[in-house]
Amino acid sequence: MLHARLTDIILDAAAPQPGERVVDIGCGAGAIAIAAAQRVGPSGHVLGLDISEPLLEVGRDRAAELDTCAPDFALADAQIWAHEGAPFDLCVSRMGLMFFADPVEGFANILTHLRPGGRLVFAAWAAAEHNAWFHVASEEAAARLGPSEPGDPHAPGPTAFADRARVADLLARAGATEIGSREIDTTLTMPGGAAEAAALARHVGPVAAQLRAKEGSDEDAQAILAAVERRFAQWEDARGCHIPARINLFHAIRP
């Protein structure tokens, strides 16, 4: 639910057509793969890839509930994945490509699995200061535990693709053409409100990493999350908590 609006943004930009073959990289529990399968219809095919078998099992369970147009799922690292079937018309990814150890190699491998003229459309987080999910949690963790050591901003991680010009260069070096990108401001929504959002922030985002790095206690975790919840509450209404977010949406073509 947190990323539901991002799914619509990506698929509206990618525009999968009936009969197309689509691969969803970093598919997680299958939200985009399932939505894309409904768009390509019974004459198309969607494959979701992820490195987490537990998430893939959730995706398979969700797909099993569909009467038609269910995607397939496979455990694979897209940087080195080798697909033996027909090429794909479209590759999509929702926050799944920023973790490649070698982004050029990863992009190049994706392109080999697209047909000539095949499309690559993916979203990545913009800088942390534009994403309250990251900067609020980091600020409150630092207030409790002390500041963290600055790391390499381009190292594999959630905001590794914040620099759009750098990502365009990586795509070009991998062999892509017609490369473009744009920033999109949106929201991350938790129907259960700020409390639900803060509880999820314990596991998704910088809080867990900073607790590990600083050897924080359960008491520290509870204090940080209480502070995060108080700040998230400013974006809460009767429909949930709507946390401001900014993404970079990229597109490219296999020549």
pLDDT for 158? 93
- Contact present, 185 and 125 (Cβ < 8 Å): no
Could you tell me if residue 46 is inside a domain?
yes
Mean pLDDT of 2-31: 95
Under the banding of pLDDT at 50, 70 and 90, the label for residue 1 is: low
Under the banding of pLDDT at 50, 70 and 90, the label for residue 99 is: very high
CA distance 248 to 162: 7
92 phi and psi angles, rounded to 5 deg: -125, 155
Could you tell me if residue 232 is inside a domain?
no
The CATH number of the domain where 79 resides is what?
3.40.50.150
User: How confident is the model over 104-123, as pLDDT tens digits?
Assistant: 999 999 999 999 999 999 99
CA distance 236 to 126: 23
Domain count across the chain: 1
Q: Is the pLDDT of residue 18 over 70?
A: yes
Domain that holds residue 180: 4-131+152-191+245-253
Could you tell me if residue 217 is inside a domain?
no
Could you tell me if residue 219 is inside a domain?
no
- Contact present, 210 and 148 (Cβ < 8 Å): yes
Could you tell me if residue 226 is inside a domain?
no
Could you tell me if residue 213 is inside a domain?
no
Could you tell me if residue 145 is inside a domain?
no
pLDDT for 2? 76
User: How confident is the model over 124-170, as pLDDT tens digits?
Assistant: 999 999 999 999 999 999 999 999 888 888 999 999 999 999 999 99
Under the banding of pLDDT at 50, 70 and 90, the label for residue 55 is: very high
pLDDT for 248? 98
> Model's pTM, two decimal places?
0.94
Could you tell me if residue 216 is inside a domain?
no
Q: In this structure, how many other beta carbons lie within 10 angstroms of the beta carbon of residue 234? A: 11
> Token digits for 204?
């998704």
